[in-house]
Amino acid sequence: MSDPLRFERFHDIIINAPAAAILDYVSNPRSWPQWIASSHEIDSPDRPLQAGETFRERWATRTGETTLDWKVTARDQPWLWEAQTHTPFTGVIIVRYEIEVAPGGHRYRRRLINPQRPKPPTDEMIVRIDEEAALSLRNIKRNVEAMQ
């Protein structure tokens, strides 16, 4: 077996909305099924979550479904939110949502990190990650801008 490796991928989009509105939307896990195709059911309060809080997600994979137990590890309103979970097939998964001022609004960046992935993702997996992320970003932009 090869040594674990760090895998990190990020995707971003400009959203014409206040930073707090963007972060509050994406840091409410109950909103995830509205913009993440693989997220099917969330057991969480219907509000933005704070550091230390936990939630559960039913997540679809190519081979079936799995349940992810998440813990919010950081929140710096309105600029940063981070949570992490673990799966047997990828190890620790960290999602980090970052907001920064940008021309035309705010740049929302979704960063996916596997600090010690057991094996590298295939090229096909990376293409799928990128396609799903692009769709998710468009959905977030549409939903948040419509709320303004």
What is the pLDDT at residue 2?
A: 64
The whole-chain average pLDDT of the chain stands at 94
Q: Which amino acid type is present at position 113?
A: I
List, as one string, the DSSP characters of 5-64: EEEEEEEEEEESS-HHHHHHHHT-GGGHHHH-TTEEEEES-SSPPPTT-EEEEEEEETTE
Task: Give the closest residue to 84 by CA, choosing from 39, 53, 107.
Answer: 53
User: Above pLDDT 90, what percent of the chain?
Assistant: 86
Mean pLDDT to the nearest integer, 117-130 = 93
CATH superfamily of 5-146: START domain (3.30.530.20)
Whether pTM exceeds 0.85:
yes
Q: Where are the domains of the chain?
A: 5-146
pLDDT band at 88 (very low <50, low <70, confident <90, very high): confident
